[in-house]
Amino acid sequence: MKFRFGLALAAVLLMPSVADADGKKGLYTRAMFNYSIAEDITVFGSNNGGGDISLKGGLGGELALGKVFGAKKNFAAELEFGASYFDADEATPTSGFGQSTASVDAQGDALVYTGMINAIYSFKAKKVNPYVGIGVGAAFVDVSDASVTSTTETFSVSDFAPAAQALVGLAIPVGKKGLAVDIGYKYRVIGDLADAAGLTNVSGNNVKTRYIPTHNILVGLRYNF
């Protein structure tokens, strides 16, 4: 099933389109700077309880290759690859981290890599081209040296999780034909890490997380071939 889906996507990205008829390939690429805000992450364990972990705003970027198609060139399918870096902020226990029930500072960092397949619809206009879309894919979450000040225990974990997103934005043509400034927003949800390897601390606690929602503000350039 996954193999057939990949072949179908490749066919969409590479097939001739109406754009090809007037000398254009219908392909585009974009490079975007990304500022991400993650909602609090719920963490729960077998012995030391759990709570919510907040992260500082994350920086990152993404690259994408897409194909425009349809009679009015309103539809596009694209492959998107991105990465964001987050630092831990603080932990708010619901049942205690190391027997503590007060908010405590959290340490550690997380790198989140994503690979997404997006379907996009553009509203063509003279000066700006608004667009909306949805996407599905996978994320690889790499957490290093995560801990809280109320305990000396440290976690490091890496694992894959499913991901989905909704997006809106504006493509604003500038200067050279085919070049545009792209400004967008994405709401992305990354699945939980319940089955991640390495989520066991030195005391034998099994720690899990629920899904990770993020708000992403993006700005960059798009080039239509």
Q: Is the pTM of this model over 0.95?
A: no
Other C-beta atoms within 10 Å of 90: how many? Answer: 18
Residue scoring higher pLDDT (18 or 92): 92
DSSP character for 3?
H
Q: Which two tokens stand for residue 166?
A: 């909704």
Q: What is the mean pLDDT of residues 167-178?
A: 88
Give the model confidence (pLDDT) of 96-136 as tens digits.
445 555 677 777 788 899 999 999 999 977 789 999 999 99
Cα(69)–Cα(75) distance, integer angstroms: 6
- 11: confidence class by pLDDT, cuts 50, 70, 90: very low
In the chain the first and final C-alpha atoms are separated, in Å, by 32
- In degrees and rounded to multiples of 5, residue 20 shows phi and psi of -65, -30
